[in-house]
Structure 1
């Protein structure tokens, strides 16, 4: 189960594992966070395990947010596992945030 660390209402940091075995809980946390803000950054750099199912869940959550005039920004600066999975499934993410959110 991933560890969720809210920095503020705009940043959700995921740590640990995000994979097919724990997607529903993670999706619920993301949807709950989106109830409080128009734009949510999800920091994925601290994930230790990440698979294609996790990537697709994040993509679907992002599309659902967009349909509701909200935004999810998937952020990964250094995690090579996360970058490799996103490259494999063809999902875009941000490695640089232009405005500080802390």
Structure 2
């Protein structure tokens, strides 16, 4: 099961597995967190497993936020598995925390 914790009111760390079996739950939690801020950073480095369905959910949730004038930043500095999955799917991520909207 995926464990999520707030590090700040704008940074959400995703830990464990993000896969087809828990997408609805995780997407709901991300969207709930985004209700509290115009910009949310998702730290993906602690993820142990990410499948294509999980990557696609992150992409769709990011696009949906953008359409609502909000921002989700996918942050991955060192997790090679996440980087590889994103390279196959063409999803853009950041390797350092970019300037975010206030």
Q: Does the pair score TM above 0.5?
A: yes
Structure 2 distance, partners of 1:98, 1:72, is: 11
- Residue 44 of structure 1: aligned partner: 44
- Residue 7 of structure 2: aligned partner: 7
Shift of 1:66: 0.4
**Alpha-carbon displacement from aligned partner over 1:42-61 (angstroms, at most 9, x marks no partner):** 00000001011000000000
Give the TM-score of the pair, scaled to structure 1. 0.94
Unaligned runs of 5+ in 2: none
- Residue 94 of structure 2: aligned partner: 94
Give the TM-score of the pair, scaled to structure 2. 0.94
Shift of 1:97: 1.4
Structure 2 distance, partners of 1:70, 1:49, is: 27
**Alpha-carbon displacement from aligned partner over 1:7-66 (angstroms, at most 9, x marks no partner):** 121000000000111100000000000100000000000000101100000000000000
What SS does the aligned partner of 2:7 have?
Answer: strand
**Alpha-carbon displacement from aligned partner over 1:53-100 (angstroms, at most 9, x marks no partner):** 000000000000001000000000000110000000010000011459
Structure 1 distance, partners of 2:39, 2:98, is: 14
Unaligned runs of 5+ in 1: none
